[in-house]
A and B are shown apart, each in its own frame.
Chain A
């Protein structure tokens, strides 16, 4: 059984008009057995920068802590916010430094540029190969299902309210078709002046 599929997860991030959205399920399981429906997989790294971590639960916690540490040191030294692109590179090199004993997470970065507020989303594999897209990125055990849902529902230049509906439906329907993810959902809508967090009511099975 692959380490990436041990705990189960579904994470998706989408680009909108001057906003980004990132959403995840809340299940933590031990293969088929569900342990918790409250497990945090999306971490706010900075005011407008979010990191989604699908994969092995222990590494989700470790990687988010280590990256937060490095990001905070950067902020103290440079006295400015880190750009999403820079953060992506930091995550990528962090993961590659463990090339032959990797962390079993496939991160998703979503945020707005600190100065221009331009939206940014990207994902990478467990050894840090980055992929920057202009529409959506997906990760987790339900990634195939998420690709299908996003491809169908997404369109460019969605306003925050529409983006919320689209990302929520993509997540809910994809995780319903995956045994290892689900049990609730949380959506973060990141706009230049605010971040809205909404918890989704989902099928608890």
Chain B
């Protein structure tokens, strides 16, 4: 219910003001809520917030349950991070095209499926760009 509360607030901003919150503003707003909750009743949820803005282009923010926020080119949370951060360190470069980025994600997913003890057969890949959010439906991801 936490994320729906935040989501509704972001939508309310658009209704009130006529334009969407920028990704940075949405991430900062979320961060402030997490930070406030930390000392009252913490939300034990980490997040990655990705968005597209005409002004700044695409941006990705790492948030954790403490309210730590960092703008990053690529990142991962949880067990995935142990396996995938190094893959992304090696393969990432500035100005990746969408196909290259999705291929990199596929590489990461393959690695997680190989190395993690828990079997995770299906993954969803979502792409966020100037047209909005869409899901990539893929047979390639199933093992």
Contact = CB atoms under 8 A, between A and B. Distances in A.
Interface of A: 7, 28, 30, 33, 35-36, 38-39, 56-59, 61-62, 101
Interface in B42-88: 62, 64, 66-72, 75, 81-82, 85
B70 A35 contact: yes
Nearest to A58: B67
B66 A39 contact: no
Contacts of A28: 68, 70
B38 A35 contact: no
Nearest to B34: A58
Contacts of B69: 57-58, 61
Contacts of B70: 28, 35-36, 38-39, 57
Contacts of A61: 31, 35, 67-69
| Interface of chain B: mostly helix, strand, loop or mixed | mixed
A149 to B, nearest CB: 27
B16 interface: no
B39 A101 contact: yes
* Contact size range, B: 10 to 19
A38 B66 contact: no
B93 to A, nearest CB: 16
Nearest to B76: A35
B81 A58 contact: no
A35 B72 contact: yes
Nearest to A65: B32
Given A58-B35, A58-B38, A61-B35, A36 B66 contact: no
A204 to B, nearest CB: 10
A38 B69 CA distance: 11
A58 B62 CA distance: 12
A36 B38 contact: no
Given A28-B68, A33-B82, 20 more contacts: A30-B64, A33-B81, A35-B72, A35-B75, A36-B62, A36-B75, A38-B70, A38-B71, A38-B72, A39-B70, A56-B66, A57-B66, A58-B34, A58-B67, A58-B68, A58-B69, A61-B31, A61-B35, A61-B69, A62-B35
B69 to A, nearest CB: 6
